[in-house]
Amino acid sequence: MARIGRIGLSWDPLREMEQLERDWSKLFSGFGRAAAVKYPPVNVFTSEEDVVVTSELPGVNPEDVDLTITGDVLTLKGTRRRQELGEGQTWHRRERGYGDFYRTIQLPYNVDSAKVEAKYNKGILRITLPRAEADKPRKISVKTA
C-alpha cells in the first residue's frame, strides 16, 4: 500500500480502515482491482487554518453522498447510480463505474465540525474543514525578564 502524504509523525491520510474499505470497494463494480483501487479518489490540501478535501465524483447526486466527522476522521459514503438502459438500447462500451463507496480520511488535526462546508460542482466534491479553535497553534511571545 503506497503511503504518500505525511505531516509530522502522526498524520497519515492513508491510515484508514483499510479492510472495511476493501469490503466496500468490492461493491463498487467496474473496478476489478478492488483491493488496489480506492473510489472515489481524493486529494487533500492543508494549511494551518483548514483542510480541503476534494474528490472526483462525476455524475453523482449530492443527496446520495453522506459525510460525517468523528473526531479527526472524515467519512465519505455514498452511491453512484448506474446508467440504466432504455427500451431497445444495448451497451457498446461500459467503462464508468457505479455502486456504493465508502472512504475514511484521517485529518491532520481536529476540525470544527459545525463549520465544515461541502460543495458539489462540475462533478467535484469539495469539503472545507476549518481547524478547531482549540487545536490551533498559539504563538507565545517571549518576554525579557
Partner 1 sequence: MAEVEKSREAKKQETPGNIITERIRTGRIYMPDVDISEDRDNLVLYADLPGAGDEDVSVTLENDVLTIEAKILPEKSDAHRLSHAEYGTGDYFRSFTINEPIDREKIEAKMKDGVLRIVLPKKEEAKPKQIKIHAG
Nearest distance from residue 142's CB to partner 1, in Å? 27
Q: Which stretch binds partner 1 (CB under 8 A): 30-38, 66-74, 111-119, 132-140?
A: 30-38
5 touches partner 1 (CB under 8 A): yes
Angle at 21 between CA 15 and CA 26, to 5 degrees: 150
CB contact set of 48 (below 8 Å; sequence gap of 6+): 131, 136, 137
- Rounded CA gap, 105 and 103, in Å? 7
- Residue with Cβ nearer partner 1 (70 or 90): 90
User: SS3 for 87?
Assistant: coil
46 touches partner 1 (CB under 8 A): yes
Place of cell 463549520: 115
Which residues inside 52-81 make contact with partner 1, applying CB under 8 A?
52, 54, 56-60
119 touches partner 1 (CB under 8 A): no
Cell numbers that stand for 104 in this block:
475514511
124 touches partner 1 (CB under 8 A): yes
49 touches partner 1 (CB under 8 A): yes
What is each CA distance from 52 to 111, 131, 139, 143, in whole angstroms? 11, 11, 24, 36
Q: Which residue, 36, 117, 45, 125, is CA-closest to 80?
A: 125
Q: Which stretch binds partner 1 (CB under 8 A): 21-29, 63-71, 111-119, 132-140?
A: 21-29
Binding test (CB under 8 A) with partner 1, winner from 30, 35, 117, 135: 30
Q: Which residues bind partner 1 (CB under 8 A)?
A: 4-7, 13-14, 26-27, 29-33, 37-39, 41-47, 49, 52, 54, 56-60, 83, 85-97, 99-100, 108, 120, 122-124
